[in-house]
Amino acid sequence: MTKDWRKVRVETVAVHAGHEIDPATGAVAAPIHLSTTFQRDVEGTYSRGFMYSRNDNPNRKALEDGVSALEDGAAAAAFGSGMATAMALFAALAPGDHVIAHVDAYYGTSRLLSDLFLRWKLETDFVDMSDLSAVEKVLRPNTKLLWMETPSNPLLKIVDVAAVAQIARKAGVISVCDNTWAPIIQRPLELGTDFTFHSSTKYFGGHCDVMGGIVIAKRNDDFFERVRTIQYTGGAVPSPFDCWLVLRGMKTLPLRVRAHSENAAKVADYLAQHRNVERVYYPGLKSHPGHEVAKKQMSMFGGMLSFEAKGGREAAMEVAAKTEIFTRATSLGGVESLIEHRASIEGPGTTSPESLLRCSIGLEHPDDLIEDLERALA
Ligand X SMILES: *Cc1c(COP(=O)(O)O)cnc(C)c1O
* Prior bond of 283 cis (ω within 30°): no
Burial 155-184 (b: 16+ CB within 10 A, else e): bbbbbbbebbbebbeebebbbbbbbbbbbb
> Binding of ligand X at residue 153 (CB under 6 A)?
yes
Question: Strands of 123-127's sheet, edge to edge?
Answer: 75-79, 213-217, 195-199, 174-178, 143-149, 98-102, 123-127
Region from 24-32, 80-88, 223-231, 319-327 binding ligand X, contact rule CB under 6 A: 80-88
Pick from 68, 110, 199, 239 the residue near ligand X by CB under 6 A.
199
Least Å from the CB of residue 5 to ligand X = 26
Pick from 56, 178, 242, 372 the residue near ligand X by CB under 6 A.
178
> Binding of ligand X at residue 147 (CB under 6 A)?
no
**Catalytic: which of 65, 160, 178, 242?**
178
Least Å from the CB of residue 332 to ligand X = 6
Cα 288 to Cα 158: distance, rounded to the nearest angstrom: 9
> Binding of ligand X at residue 211 (CB under 6 A)?
yes
Least Å from the CB of residue 79 to ligand X = 9
202 among known catalytic residues: yes
> Binding of ligand X at residue 81 (CB under 6 A)?
yes
Cα 42 to Cα 295: distance, rounded to the nearest angstrom: 58
Cα angle 247, 253, 258 (rounded to 5 degrees) comes to 175
Cα 366 to Cα 140: distance, rounded to the nearest angstrom: 47
> Binding of ligand X at residue 338 (CB under 6 A)?
no
Least Å from the CB of residue 339 to ligand X = 15
| Pairing between β-strand 123-127 and β-strand 174-178 as defined by DSSP bridges | unpaired
Residues 15-34 binding ligand X (CB under 6 A) are: none
Residues 101-140 binding ligand X (CB under 6 A) are: 106, 108-109
Neighbour tally for 274: CB within 10 Å = 16
Cβ contact 10:184 at 8 Å:
yes
Pick from 53, 150, 201, 351 the residue near ligand X by CB under 6 A.
201
Question: What are phi and psi for residue 306, nearest 5 degrees?
Answer: -130, 155
Q: Quick one: angle between helices 240-272 and 58-71, nearest 10?
A: 40
**Catalytic: which of 60, 106, 242, 248?**
106
54 among known catalytic residues: yes
> Binding of ligand X at residue 213 (CB under 6 A)?
yes
Least Å from the CB of residue 333 to ligand X = 8
# residues contacting ligand X (CB under 6 A): 16
Nearer Cβ to ligand X (68/180): 180
Least Å from the CB of residue 288 to ligand X = 18
Cβ contact 373:325 at 8 Å:
no
Which positions touch ligand X (CB under 6 A)?
81-83, 106, 108-109, 149, 153, 178, 180-181, 199, 201-202, 211, 213
Residues tagged active-site? 54, 106, 178, 202
